[in-house]
Amino acid sequence: MQIRGLYRGATSSFVGMAFESSLLFGIYSQTKQSLQGGVQSSGPQLQVIIPSAAYSGALISFVLCPSELVKCRMQVQGTDSLVPRSRRYSSPLDCALKAVKTEGVTGIFRGGFTTLLRETIGNAVFFSVYEYVRYYMHSRLKAASSENSHLIDVGIGIVSGGLGGVGFWTAVLPLDVAKTLIQTTPDKSSTRNPFQILSSIYRRAGVKGCYTGLGPTIVRAFPANAAAIVTWELAMKLLGIRHD
Of 44, 23, 33, nearest to 164 (Cα)? 44
Residues 234, 118, 19, CA angle at the centre, nearest 5°? Answer: 40
Of the candidates 105, 124, 103, the residue with the CA atom closest to the CA atom of residue 188: 103
- Residue 164: pLDDT over 60: yes
Which residue would you say has higher pLDDT here, 147 or 141?
A: 141
pLDDT, position 24: 93
- Average pLDDT score over residue span 9-13: 52
Report the distance separating Cα 240 and Cα 19, nearest Å.
Answer: 22
Per-residue pLDDT of 180-212, as tens digits, reads 999 998 887 889 999 999 999 999 999 999 999
Q: Residue 7: pLDDT band by 50, 70, 90 thresholds?
A: low
User: How many other CB atoms are found less than 10 A from the CB of residue 213?
Assistant: 13
The gap from C-alpha 55 to its chain's centroid, in whole angstroms, comes to: 14
Other Cβ atoms closer than 10 A to 161: 28
Q: What is the pLDDT of residues 84-135, one digit of tens each?
A: 565 678 788 888 888 888 888 888 999 999 999 999 999 999 999 999 999 9
Task: Of 208, 213, 218, 223, give the one whose Cα is nearest residue 180.
Answer: 213
172 burial (CB, 10 Å; 0-12 / 13-18 / 19+) is buried
Residues 6+ apart with CB under 8 A from 238: none
CB 147 within 8 A of CB 136: no
Burial group, residue 62, by CB count within 10 angstroms (0-12, 13-18, 19+): middle
Question: How far is the C-alpha of 64 from the C-alpha of 120, rounded, in Å?
Answer: 12
% pLDDT > 90, the chain: 55
